[in-house]
A = this chain, B = another copy of it.
Amino acid sequence: MPRNDTTEAQPHQGKRERYMQPSILLGLYLNASYGYELIQNIQEFGFVVGQAPPGMIYRHLHQLEEDGLVASEWKTEGTGPAKRMYQLTEDGKQMLAVWIDYMEKQARTLDAFVKRYRDEKPDQG
């Protein structure tokens, strides 16, 4: 029994790169936000299918704050339970810029890989 099902378009059986950190950073770069809202919103970036598991979001937010890439404060105003509002720090913005560089390079590496494959088999791509 193959570990990977070749009939599906998703080659990973398990953990893939989710780009959780840059997704959260970009989310906060576009607008200050909080965990519950980020869960809904970062799927828009395309690396997470459906809603991200809450555990992952909060884990990342805690780590990001510990690393000084985001800062937070409780917001009790507005509707519903208190939210912990997060915003990027300067370090966080720099980190996002580093991610952007990396992701751009990664896209080019992926394109080159695909091209290498297709060039070998030009009639069946």
Q: Name A's B-contacting residues (CB within 8 A).
A: 2-4, 6, 8-11, 16-17, 19, 21-23, 26, 29-30, 45-47, 63, 66-69, 91, 94-96, 98-104, 106-114, 116-118, 120
Contact between chains at B11 and A98 (CB < 8 Å): yes
**Interchain CB contact (< 8 A) of A11 among B16, B63, B91, B95:** B95
In the A-B complex, the 6 residue pairs with the smallest Cβ-Cβ separation, listed nearest first, are A17-B17, A107-B110, A46-B109, A6-B94, A107-B107, A2-B67
In chain B, what residue has the closest Cβ to A68? B2
Given contacts A2-B68, A94-B6, contact A114 B110 (CB under 8 A): no
Contacting residues, chain B, for A30 (C-beta < 8 A) = 116, 120
- Contact among B21, B45, B63, B114 for A104, CB-based, below 8 A: B114
Report B-chain residues with C-beta under 8 Å of the C-beta of A66: 3
A101 to chain B, nearest CB (A): 6
